[in-house]
Structure 1
Amino acid sequence: WTFDWNFVTSRPTCDWNSRRLAVDGRTFQLGTSCNSAGRVTAVHIPGSQLEGTLMSEIALLTHLRFLALNNNQITGTLPVQLSQLSGLDYLAFHWNALDGQLPTWIGQFQELRVLGLGNNQFTGSIPFEYQLLTNLVTLGLDDNLLTGNLDNVQDLRNLKRLYLEDNIFVDTMDVSFMAGLVRLEELDLSDNDITGTLSLHMFNYDSLSILDLHGNNIRGQFPSIIPENHNLTFMSLHNNLIGGTISPQLSNLKALSHMDLAFNNFTGPIPAEIGTMSNLRYLFLAGLNLNSGVVPPWIGQLSNMRDLSLKQTNRNGPIPEFFGSMTNLVLLDLDGNDLSGSIPSNLGLLRRLGYLLLNRNNRLSGSIPESIQRLTSLGMYCPFVEKASVNCRLISIEQCAEILLVDRTSLSGNLNTLCSQGGEPKIIGSDCEGSNPEVTCVCCTICCDDSQSSESCLDRVYLGQLDPIWENSYQRRFYQFSPDVIYGNE
Structure 2
Amino acid sequence: MTNEMREFPILSAEAAGSLSLVDLPVVTGRASANSGGDEEDNMDTVGMQQISLEDPEQAVQFEGASLPNPDELPASPVAVSSTRKRFVFRCFAATACLLVTLSIIFAIGLAVRPTNESSSSSSAGPRPTQQQVISFLVDHNVSSAEKLNDPNSMQFIAAQFLADIDPRKVPLPVADSNEHYATDVYMYTVRYVMVLLYTSWKGMHWKAQHAFMSSLDVCEWSAITISFDNPTMIEPGGVTCDPVSGLPIKLDLEFNSLMATHIPTELGLLTTLQFLDLEFNGQTFKGTIPTEICNLHQLVSLGMRSNGLHGKLPTCMGRMHKLQHLLLGQNELTGNIPTQLCELSNLKMLDLHRNLLVGEIPDCWGTETEPHFHLESFALSSNNLEGTLPSSLAHASSLTELFLDQNGLWDNPLSTINHMKQLEFLFLDQNQFEGALDHTFVRQATKLQALDVSGNKFTSEVFPSHLFKYSNLQLIDMSQNELKGSIPDNIALNDVMKFFAVYDNHLMWQIPQRISNLKSLEHLDLSYNYFNGTMPSELFQMPSLKRLFMSANPDLDRGTVPSDLSNMTGLTELSLKFTNRIGTLPDISALRNLTYLSLDNNHFHGAIPDHYGSAPSLQYLVLSRNPNLNGTVPSFAEATELVTAFLDGTKISGDLESICSLPVFQSMSLEEREANEWVVVANCGEANKNLSCSCCHCCLPEETDSDTGVCSDLAVDTLDWNWENQFEEIARKFGFDASRVASVVSNGVNSRA
Q: What is the TM-score when the length of structure 1 is the normalising length? A: 0.84
Match of 1:388 in 2: none
Alignment of 1:319 onto 2:602? no
CA deviations on 1:311-339 (whole Å, 9 max, x unpaired) are 0111111112x302100111111000111
CA deviations on 1:211-252 (whole Å, 9 max, x unpaired) are 000001110112132211121111001101111111111111
> Quick one: which of 495, 499, 507 aligns to 1:234?
499
CA distance in 2, matches of 1:483, 1:14: 32
Match of 2:27 in 1: none
| 2:684 and 2:692 in contact (8 A); partners too | yes
CA deviations on 1:162-195 (whole Å, 9 max, x unpaired) are 0000000011122112212121111000011111
CA distance in 2, matches of 1:17, 1:247: 58
Question: 1:99, CA displacement in angstroms?
Answer: 0.7
| 1:408 and 1:448 in contact (8 A); partners too | no
Question: 1:367, CA displacement in angstroms?
Answer: 2.6
> Quick one: which of 663, 678, 683 aligns to 1:431?
683
> Quick one: which of 465, 481, 492 aligns to 1:216?
481
Match of 2:71 in 1: none
CA distance in 1, matches of 2:351, 2:687: 60
CA distance in 2, matches of 1:215, 1:18: 48
Question: 1:479, CA displacement in angstroms?
Answer: 4.9
CA distance in 2, matches of 1:181, 1:480: 24
Alignment of 1:48 onto 2:307? yes
CA deviations on 1:387-411 (whole Å, 9 max, x unpaired) are xxxxxxxxxxxxxxx2211011111
Match of 1:340 in 2: 605
Alignment of 1:174 onto 2:435? no
AA in 2 matched with 1:478: F
CA distance in 2, matches of 1:135, 1:45: 24
CA deviations on 1:276-335 (whole Å, 9 max, x unpaired) are 211111111111121112221011111111111100111111112x30210011111100
CA distance 1:465–1:376, shift in 2 (3 Å): farther
| 1:14 and 1:40 in contact (8 A); partners too | no
Question: 1:362, CA displacement in angstroms?
Answer: 0.9
CA distance in 2, matches of 1:261, 1:330: 20
Match of 1:261 in 2: 526
Alignment of 1:70 onto 2:329? yes
Question: 1:76, CA displacement in angstroms?
Answer: 0.9
CA distance 1:483–1:154, shift in 2 (3 Å): closer
CA distance 1:50–1:480, shift in 2 (3 Å): closer
CA distance 1:404–1:101, shift in 2 (3 Å): same
SS at match of 1:58: helix
AA in 2 matched with 1:434: E
Structure with the higher fraction of residues in strand conformation = 1
Q: What's the RMSD between the two structures over aligned residues?
A: 3.2
Question: 1:254, CA displacement in angstroms?
Answer: 1.2
Match of 1:392 in 2: none
Match of 1:464 in 2: 725
CA distance in 2, matches of 1:232, 1:374: 36
Match of 2:666 in 1: 421
| 1:138 and 1:480 in contact (8 A); partners too | no
> Quick one: which of 185, 197, 205 aligns to 1:9?
197
Is the radius of gyration larger for structure 1 or structure 2?
2
Match of 1:393 in 2: none
CA deviations on 1:369-422 (whole Å, 9 max, x unpaired) are 22x2543323xxxxxxxxxxxxxxxxxxxxxxx221101111122343357323
| 2:629 and 2:652 in contact (8 A); partners too | yes
**204-213 vs 344-353, greater mean Cα deviation:** 344-353
SS at match of 1:324: coil
Question: 1:435, CA displacement in angstroms?
Answer: 5.8
Match of 2:410 in 1: 147
Q: How does 1:130-209 map to 2 (within 5 A)?
A: 130-150=393-413, 151-196=415-460, 197-209=462-474
Match of 1:121 in 2: 384
AA in 2 matched with 1:318: T
CA distance in 2, matches of 1:85, 1:15: 31
Match of 2:649 in 1: 408
> Quick one: which of 34, 38, 45 aligns to 2:274?
34
SS at match of 2:467: helix
Question: 1:448, CA displacement in angstroms?
Answer: 5.0
Question: 1:84, CA displacement in angstroms?
Answer: 2.9
Structure 2 alignment gaps of length 5 or more = 1-35, 41-81, 83-193, 199-211, 213-217, 238-251, 255-272, 277-295, 744-753
AA in 1 matched with 2:736: F
SS at match of 1:367: coil
Q: How does 1:304-383 map to 2 (within 5 A)?
A: 304-320=570-586, 322-370=587-635, 372-378=636-642
| 2:540 and 2:568 in contact (8 A); partners too | yes
SS at match of 1:421: helix
AA in 1 matched with 2:735: R
CA distance in 2, matches of 1:40, 1:235: 41
CA deviations on 1:451-482 (whole Å, 9 max, x unpaired) are 761643562211124326x313xx32225861
CA distance in 2, matches of 1:78, 1:18: 36
AA in 2 matched with 1:94: H
CA distance in 1, matches of 2:389, 2:648: 48
SS at match of 1:311: coil
AA in 1 matched with 2:424: K
Match of 1:386 in 2: none
**245-254 vs 74-83, greater mean Cα deviation:** 74-83
SS at match of 1:377: coil
CA deviations on 1:411-462 (whole Å, 9 max, x unpaired) are 1223433573237831221113536544334443573539761643562211
Identity fraction in percent: 28
CA distance in 2, matches of 1:478, 1:17: 30
Match of 2:740 in 1: 482
CA distance in 2, matches of 1:480, 1:71: 8
Question: 1:86, CA displacement in angstroms?
Answer: 1.8
